[in-house]
Structure 1
Amino acid sequence: MDSATFRTKVLSRHLHNPQSQQSLIQSSTCLSYSPPDQSEPILFDTQKMRKLMDGHHWEHRDMVYKLITQSELFVPRDRGGRVFVSPDYNQSMEQQRVMTMKRIEYLYLLSHGAFDGFLTAKGPENELRSFALADCYGVFDHSLGIKLGVHFFLWGGAILNLGTKRHHDKWLRDTETYKVSGCFAMTELGHGSNVRGIETLTKYDASTGEFVINTPCESAQKYWIGGAANHATHAVVFSQLEIDGKNQGVHAFIAQIRDTNGEICPKVRIADCGHKIGLNGVDNGRIWFDNLRIPRENLLNSVADVSQDGQYLSTIKDPDQRFAAFMAPLVFGRVTISSSAVYSAKIGLAIATRYSLTRKAFSITPNGPEVLLLDYPSHQRRLLPLIAQTYAMSFAGNYLKRLYVTRTPESYKYIHVVSSAFKATLTWHNMRTLQECREAIGGQGLKTENRIGQLKSEYDVQSTFEGDNKVLMQQVSKALLSEFVSARKKKRPLKGLGLEHMNKPCPVIPSKLTSSALRSIDFQIEILCLRERDLLNRFSAEVAEYQAQGVSIEKAFTLTYQTAEDLGKAFADLAILRTFLEAELAESTGELKDILSIVRSMYVTTTLEEDAAFLRYGYLSTDNAAVVRKEVTKLCGELRPHALALVKSFGIPDAFLSPIAFDWVQANSWSAVRN
């Protein structure tokens, strides 16, 4: 019997089966769908959890959310109207750029100065407030967040941190009021992560008291400069500084690139970088300088200066230390990127989880009802571990912000290491999460209005800007190795970069793991400490072995990159767990502490399951790895009743989600089409 005949007979039996006919009659009745809020339990205080996750300045966040969601009530049509409720996904690049600027104009001009104090107010609380507001702008529109970030945190931050009082007095208030629009001209066509190798050249002319900035070759053109293509009037230009024929290394200068009418200044050429896969609301441009002259005072001189007669002045004599001191204050870019990546993951998970709590498919019993997507163990495996990881990374982002705003010169190295590790880890997590959410919502993920595909395109850039993630992880490992080798040479305990645990006896992992052991805080810390300790020893031994063979330290690093990447991940995972425990232990008792304990265990067991290093280097036996896998499944079942509450605690306004997060049948109905 051929396959077509066989299939015809099967269908015929179904059609003549009374029970099947009854099933067809029943299935013709439309199923009811409603937002998950009407059917799913809320078993803990989501507002309290949201405050714990956001970490700071909830009232300011809510103020921004209100400004955005109610913008159409306040903006006259002749001032742009509906600047926040209009979708961007069906607009051209030029329209998106115009819309981004309208949003900035609204926030500043029509909301009583939303940026007041961003740069001129002093103290950690003000910086935390600025971070909180930046989170919110990025939650709604990544282009808006980046455009503001370039202006305030890159241009303004460079003046604040690399400049001195003369620069602060002249530029900071004008930056807050948008009398100037700034950009950050570091990256070049030929150099990105390797800032030390940039080719733009600046010489000092003592006869006129001016610096002369020049683009000596095509690879030296400034590239991907946000704000440069259309709007920026000024730029912080990173350039090699040459004094009397001697290269003094990379320094930063303030250069005007447009006049008050928006015309490009003489001796400056600007071109558009063109359409991108995302982030088209930001006008990235390219800049060439044709011996542009700027005043001597436009050198940002917190690290080094040049006198009127052309003497190079710096209290830091070692060029390497001077370069490190010069670059240290610029880590705030990685701080904001880390935080925004977490909020993007929250949006994707909130949409995908809410949809999975109302969308049904198939049945698991004969003629039984269809089953909610999130009641399938496989679907729980897709989303719930990612929710736990997002919780962990929220706490990590908050820790990084607090670390940055309480910085001291002595803490810059540690901040650099932590920000590098977190920026790479959190942005990788974001892209992985968005892809999983896109697949978890099926065909709806292809619709741009459901946001997840758009978010993937918008946030893809985070993996490479402000430092390529692979390079950042290698920087983390090199810093750890430097501290490790220094301590051994001086025969002193390790006391920096979070390595103090290596002064204690090596943890011993049980030969046979149990569920209770896997959920123990002591075990979770010990196994992550063991991995970092062992990998640091391995990395040190591999580099030393190459050096003993006559290989340079630089080449030894390139040959040991795989161990370096494993070590960087080990450092990040342990640091993230510590921030989770800090947040969890702040909740001494109650329902939040109980649910956080489950979420933390999900984060750690997922880490053990997913990182091949635990099996590769023998930290887990194959039997124990199987126990870990079963525990993840068990934890999924325990988190399932809390799924809605967990994503509601992200605090993302409903207006920032998508139609499928609510009544997606009504949103796709014929009446919705007609209206």
Structure 2
Amino acid sequence: MVKDAAQQETPKIDIAIVSDALLGTWKKERIASRSLASQERFQNTPGQSMQEHREDTLKRLAMLVEEGAIQRAFPKEYGGEDNHGGNLAAFAELVFADPSLQIKSGVQWGLFGSAILHLGTKHHHDLWLRDVLELKIPGAFAMTEIGHGSDVASVATTATYIPETEEFEIHTPFAGAWKEFLGNAALHGQAAVVFAQLITKGVNHGVHAFYVPIRDENLQLLPGVDSFDDGFKGGLNGIDNGRLAFDHVRIPRTNLLNRYGDVDAAGNYSSPIASPGRRFFTMLGTLVQGRVSLDGAAVNAMKLGLATAITYANERRQFPGADGKESLLLDYGLHQRRLLPRLAQTFAMQFAHERLLHVFDEVFSGKNDSDENRESLETLAAALKPLSTWAALDTLQETREACGGAGFIAKNRMVTLRQDLDIYATFEGDNHVLLQLVGKRLLADYAKSFADGGRDAIVNAAKTQIVDRLSRFGLRQAVQDVTSLGQTARAVNELQDPNFQQYLLTDRIETMISEIAQALREGKKAGGAAGQAQAFNDNQAKLIAAARAHGELLQWESFTDALAQFEGDTLTVMTWLRDLFAFSIIERDAAWFLRRGRISGARYDAMEAYVTRLLGRLRLQADDLVKTFGLTKELVRAEIFTGIEAERQAEAMAYVAEKKAAGEWPVSEKTLKK
């Protein structure tokens, strides 16, 4: 068959190749996990009671053990595979079955079990790891306190050493010290890893982790342990979240998870890390996998929402067009602007997540467990997890609205999925706190580049120190000078140049950080430490914006690097998608780029017009692009994803055609008035 001109001009992507690129290095593990998530026995039942959901989720955890689905990251001697990247890749896919199942398994093995593995030593591994893996010891991860939240260093729970009995006494001295929001705390947990201030010989050595039994085999609370059920929540109601309190509970000295700090029988403290601050952050750094896994799960939720909404928009018709026929929703320019930039964002975030997984695997497998790579991992996770979890909430809300009333029906999943993912923006590190950590690290590196220099020295440092740091994540050196940007931004063609896009996004970070650094310097000069602290507080929102810009640059770079896997039509379409991601960032922050002369008003208008053309091109690719996600009806489980709307539309059009052919279709009043 000969193609017409329009067909010849429309590129066609290779769905299989793009799908492989999205599945990434751990394709096998992802597919295996999707196979489980496709099975009804692992899926939640909409509308069931909280009590039923909790019990079903616990049963499903046991089924995951039977399937060998959760052991991958643990040492082979305890039944694992030492497969760290594959473990998190597979874990993220469980969100398709039920976010409660994913998060409860994360509590059991990603937090409770991993804390024993990474903070304990062989003694602890031999005692508890196999039973934790086999779910014989369901456990809680007792870090967060109701009165301290993300400020882990200030937790008020104490672990005071008693040399006479060689025991630690775990105690929550007041209500604000109760451990809160803990999965497995309300009902199912038999032990907890408790984070407390280690006190021995009258000296507080900071936060350490302790293995503390909390219930017996009959799930009755042990003496001195109190629990409170958090009850019904805004989402994730298959998890028994609750509070824990300890009233002078005694545990053996050896229950201290002592990889990074130990106390001998006489009460003498020792640690392989002399600095208390570095010791604290090293301990927390071993638990970074929670942030990594949430990043991947959030992106998968975006895929589910977009696959549903775009499929529906390619079938649902609304309002007659010029030809008298009702138009497909996705043919409307506004609908394209609502969905397609978020589709581009999803691809960028998936490729960035793959990069994050590789760094995670390097560190935890020991392939590259250097201090520098650990810091890179922590910064990457702290930068990407906030962006993806916020984007998931935004995307699920937009896709829900884009499906109208159908999107609000629970059986189409977007409403309930958004409820479940709401907490992702808060746990495993509040998103704003994580971005502040990223911003502080950017500032810390930046501060090394100047001493007594003025603003010129700071601007010069922006061109070297920050970009050098970014390059550690695989980023390329910007090729243009900041002072030349006003002259080089002359046409939208330059905005399509990846070097120019990278430059704009990098320069944004450099300029933001240099301005904040200058404000801190001036604050210190004017008012000492107090003045600098006030300047930091005044610029906190700007610091968060800079950290967010850093995360977006990482995502853009990951997408750009991923393009090397494609060729021909596939490369053309994927490049359009990457460009849409870049332009969407610039459009959103247009005020910043315009105020600082990075682009002119005329060039912005040209870019906006080009985005409209891009959307028209990508509208023709949208169906194939969501097919690259590889999501089956069993994974999506939304009625409007099944083709039912296309059937309804076909039935309606056939009915009208039949009536018109038979001369039975009524004449419109408007026609008569002509």
Is the aligned partner of 1:374 residue 2:363? no
Please name the residue that 1:562 is paired with. Answer: 541
Contact 1:477–1:565 at 8 Å: present in 2 too?
Answer: yes
Letter in 2 for 1:404: F
The 5 Å alignment of 1:517-528 reads 517-528=494-505
CA drift of 1:523 comes to 0.8
CA shift digits 1:607-637 (9 cap, x unpaired): 1101243234332222222222112211111
Letter in 1 for 2:226: R
Please name the residue that 1:115 is paired with. Answer: 70
CA shift digits 1:241-286 (9 cap, x unpaired): 1111111111111111111222211111111011101110111010
Counterparts of 2:408 and 2:381 in 1: how far apart (Å)? 33
CA shift digits 1:488-509 (9 cap, x unpaired): 3499963435478779762433
Query: More deviation in 492-501 or 310-319?
Result: 492-501
Structure-2 change in CA distance of 1:165 and 1:311 (3 Å): same
CA shift digits 1:168-191 (9 cap, x unpaired): 222222221112112110001101
Is the aligned partner of 1:653 residue 2:632? yes
Letter in 2 for 1:439: E
Structure 1: state its 5+ residue gaps. 1-40, 72-82, 670-675
Counterparts of 1:66 and 1:139 in 2: how far apart (Å)? 10
Which among 231, 249, 261 is matched to residue 292 of structure 1? Answer: 249
Which among 281, 302, 305 is matched to residue 262 of structure 2? Answer: 305
Which among 564, 570, 577 is matched to residue 556 of structure 2? Answer: 577
Query: More deviation in 262-271 or 123-132?
Result: 123-132
Contact 2:140–2:189 at 8 Å: present in 1 too?
Answer: yes
CA drift of 1:124 comes to 9.6
Is the aligned partner of 1:530 residue 2:507? yes
Please name the residue that 1:23 is paired with. Answer: none
Please name the residue that 2:122 is paired with. Answer: 165
Letter in 2 for 1:101: L
Counterparts of 2:228 and 2:12 in 1: how far apart (Å)? 55
3-state DSSP class of the match of 1:238? strand
CA drift of 1:59 comes to 2.7
3-state DSSP class of the match of 2:606? helix
The 5 Å alignment of 1:232-251 reads 232-251=189-208
Letter in 2 for 1:663: G
CA drift of 1:443 comes to 1.0
Please name the residue that 1:403 is paired with. Answer: 359
Letter in 2 for 1:662: T
Query: More deviation in 289-298 or 552-561?
Result: 552-561
The 5 Å alignment of 1:273-292 reads 273-292=230-249
Counterparts of 1:417 and 1:424 in 2: how far apart (Å)? 12
Query: More deviation in 652-661 or 619-628?
Result: 619-628
Contact 1:480–1:497 at 8 Å: present in 2 too?
Answer: no
Please name the residue that 1:673 is paired with. Answer: none
The 5 Å alignment of 1:391-540 reads 391-407=347-363, 408-410=369-371, 411-489=373-451, 494=465, 495-498=468-471, 506-507=481-482, 508-509=484-485, 510=487, 512-540=489-517
3-state DSSP class of the match of 1:232? coil
Please name the residue that 1:324 is paired with. Answer: 281
Counterparts of 2:535 and 2:201 in 1: how far apart (Å)? 36
Please name the residue that 2:110 is paired with. Answer: 153
Contact 2:108–2:139 at 8 Å: present in 1 too?
Answer: yes
Counterparts of 1:383 and 1:304 in 2: how far apart (Å)? 50
Structure 2: state its 5+ residue gaps. 1-9, 364-368, 650-674
Which among 634, 637, 642 is matched to residue 616 of structure 2? Answer: 637
The 5 Å alignment of 1:213-228 reads 213-228=170-185
Letter in 2 for 1:640: R
Letter in 1 for 2:502: I
Counterparts of 1:247 and 1:258 in 2: how far apart (Å)? 28
Which among 543, 564, 581 is matched to residue 520 of structure 2? Answer: 543
Contact 1:124–1:405 at 8 Å: present in 2 too?
Answer: no
Structure-2 change in CA distance of 1:316 and 1:430 (3 Å): same
Contact 1:269–1:287 at 8 Å: present in 2 too?
Answer: yes
Please name the residue that 2:346 is paired with. Answer: 390
CA drift of 1:428 comes to 1.1
Counterparts of 1:254 and 1:149 in 2: how far apart (Å)? 18
TM-score norm. by structure 2 comes to 0.87
Structure-2 change in CA distance of 1:465 and 1:42 (3 Å): farther
Contact 1:316–1:322 at 8 Å: present in 2 too?
Answer: yes
Structure-2 change in CA distance of 1:454 and 1:395 (3 Å): same
Which among 59, 71, 74 is matched to residue 28 of structure 2? Answer: 59
Contact 1:659–1:667 at 8 Å: present in 2 too?
Answer: no
Structure-2 change in CA distance of 1:125 and 1:245 (3 Å): closer
Letter in 1 for 2:264: S
CA drift of 1:513 comes to 4.0
Contact 1:417–1:497 at 8 Å: present in 2 too?
Answer: no
Contact 1:201–1:242 at 8 Å: present in 2 too?
Answer: yes
Contact 2:34–2:635 at 8 Å: present in 1 too?
Answer: no
3-state DSSP class of the match of 1:488? coil
Please name the residue that 2:669 is paired with. Answer: none
Contact 1:223–1:286 at 8 Å: present in 2 too?
Answer: yes
Which among 576, 590, 615 is matched to residue 568 of structure 2? Answer: 590
CA drift of 1:409 comes to 3.8
3-state DSSP class of the match of 2:469? coil
Contact 1:175–1:181 at 8 Å: present in 2 too?
Answer: yes
Counterparts of 2:602 and 2:378 in 1: how far apart (Å)? 38
Contact 1:506–1:530 at 8 Å: present in 2 too?
Answer: no
Structure-2 change in CA distance of 1:84 and 1:332 (3 Å): closer
Structure-2 change in CA distance of 1:497 and 1:42 (3 Å): closer
Counterparts of 1:501 and 1:42 in 2: how far apart (Å)? 29
Counterparts of 1:401 and 1:532 in 2: how far apart (Å)? 24
CA drift of 1:668 comes to 8.7
**Number of residue pairs aligned between Structure 1 and Structure 2:** 614
Contact 1:47–1:649 at 8 Å: present in 2 too?
Answer: yes
Please name the residue that 2:42 is paired with. Answer: 84
Structure-2 change in CA distance of 1:328 and 1:65 (3 Å): closer
Q: Alignment identity in percent?
A: 36
Please name the residue that 1:24 is paired with. Answer: none
Please name the residue that 2:644 is paired with. Answer: 664
CA shift digits 1:511-553 (9 cap, x unpaired): 5543322221111111111111111111111111111221534
Structure-2 change in CA distance of 1:427 and 1:124 (3 Å): farther
Structure-2 change in CA distance of 1:332 and 1:107 (3 Å): closer
TM-score norm. by structure 1 comes to 0.87
Contact 1:608–1:628 at 8 Å: present in 2 too?
Answer: no
Contact 2:315–2:646 at 8 Å: present in 1 too?
Answer: no
Counterparts of 1:193 and 1:219 in 2: how far apart (Å)? 13
Letter in 1 for 2:36: L
CA shift digits 1:577-621 (9 cap, x unpaired): 11112211233x233322211111011011110124323433222
Contact 1:142–1:279 at 8 Å: present in 2 too?
Answer: yes
Contact 1:118–1:152 at 8 Å: present in 2 too?
Answer: no
Structure-2 change in CA distance of 1:497 and 1:660 (3 Å): same
3-state DSSP class of the match of 2:288? helix
3-state DSSP class of the match of 2:450? helix
Contact 1:473–1:569 at 8 Å: present in 2 too?
Answer: yes
CA drift of 1:372 comes to 0.3
Contact 1:531–1:619 at 8 Å: present in 2 too?
Answer: no
Counterparts of 1:63 and 1:440 in 2: how far apart (Å)? 32
Structure-2 change in CA distance of 1:42 and 1:620 (3 Å): closer
3-state DSSP class of the match of 2:315? coil
CA shift digits 1:386-436 (9 cap, x unpaired): 000000000111111111111224122222211111011111111111111
Contact 1:203–1:212 at 8 Å: present in 2 too?
Answer: yes
Structure-2 change in CA distance of 1:566 and 1:63 (3 Å): closer
Please name the residue that 2:581 is paired with. Answer: 603
Counterparts of 2:286 and 2:295 in 1: how far apart (Å)? 16
